[in-house]
Amino acid sequence: MTRTSLAIFLAASMMATAGCASKNYVKQQTTPLINKTNELDDLTAKNTKEIKDVDARAQAGIQAVQAKAADVDQKAQAAGQTAASAQQTADAANTRVGVLTNTVANLDNYHSVSEASAKFGFNKDVLTPQAKEDLDKLAAGIASTKGYLITVEGGTDSTGPADYNYDLSQRRANAVIQYLASKYSVPAHKIYIIGLGKDKPVESNKTAQGRRENRRVDVHLMSNTQGSDQSTPTTAGQSNPSSM
């Protein structure tokens, strides 16, 4: 090997060694940076996902709150409408009560057009076929009676406690009222209950026949107008007492 060749070989070896050393140095310096960059990328991706999840939950919460608010608003509107309707009903009821109060205050100005007695079985509050027939006879005159008022007086015999009999007489009176209201469309403000319980027997409670007569609801069709066709009251059901 010549001197020139040896010099070239040594120079190449030195350059190769220097190149390897430089690459190793660069690799040592850049590897931590690359790793840190990768960690930052992973952390950024994780944070982005968490932010999206939080945003999704927030949007869902907002939508739920908005839906509940809308539902509450609808319920508030419905409640307002119900309250307004109730107020109208109350006002109408107050008007009818006022009219009825004046009517009752002047009850002496009324006269009986017809009357009926609905008889009931022992401890019963259901209308019998005979009781319905008697009420039908009375109700037939409602359409032709001007300024009418219907009085209802429930009664019981003396059997049992007073409180129970008051309740029973109320149920019997209600049965009559419901029958007249449902079949003949008699409004509630046209019906006046003037007595309940066992306090006003029509017969002695000492006999079975007397107790049967006391288990009754007396109904009167009243009018505050005078007329030749209304001067004499007609009676339904007096000759047909029901049995127990």
- Output the pLDDT for position 30: 63
SS (H, E, C) the chain: CCHHHHHHHHHHHHHHHHHHHHHHHHHHHHHHHHHHHHHHHHHHHHHHHHHHHHHHHHHHHHHHHHHHHHHHHHHHHHHHHHHHHHHHHHHHHHHHHHHHHHHHHCHHHCEEEEEEEEECCCCCCCCCHHHHHHHHHHHCCCCCCCCEEEEEEECCCCCCCHHHHHHHHHHHHHHHHHHHHHHHCCCHHHEEEEECCCCCCCCCCCCHHHHHHHCEEEEEEEECCCCHHHCCCEEECCCCCCCC
- Output the pLDDT for position 40: 66
Contact call for residues 118 and 214 (beta carbons, < 8 A):
no
Of the candidates 235, 153, 241, the residue with the CA atom closest to the CA atom of residue 201: 153
User: Rounded distance, CA 95 to CA 98, Å?
Assistant: 5
Q: Which amino acid is at 235?
A: T
User: Rounded distance, CA 188 to CA 108, Å?
Assistant: 21
Q: Is the pLDDT of residue 232 over 50?
A: no
CA angle at 146 for the pair 143 and 150, rounded to the nearest 5°: 75
For the segment 78-82, the average pLDDT, to the nearest whole number, is 73
For the segment 158-173, the average pLDDT, to the nearest whole number, is 90
- Output the pLDDT for position 22: 60
For the segment 218-236, the average pLDDT, to the nearest whole number, is 67
Give the chain's mean pLDDT: 75
Q: Is the pLDDT of residue 173 over 70?
A: yes
- Output the pLDDT for position 181: 93
Contact call for residues 244 and 122 (beta carbons, < 8 A):
yes
| Confidence at 219, pLDDT banded by 50, 70, 90 | very high
- Output the pLDDT for position 108: 67
| Confidence at 99, pLDDT banded by 50, 70, 90 | very low
- Output the pLDDT for position 239: 41
Per residue in 106-137, pLDDT (tens digit) is 566 788 889 999 999 999 999 999 999 999 99
- Output the pLDDT for position 89: 56
- Output the pLDDT for position 150: 93
Q: Is the pLDDT of residue 88 over 50?
A: yes
First to last CA, the chain: 150
User: Rounded distance, CA 44 to CA 57, Å?
Assistant: 20
Q: Is the pLDDT of residue 182 over 60?
A: yes
Place of tokens 């309940």: 196
For the segment 156-161, the average pLDDT, to the nearest whole number, is 88
| Confidence at 75, pLDDT banded by 50, 70, 90 | confident
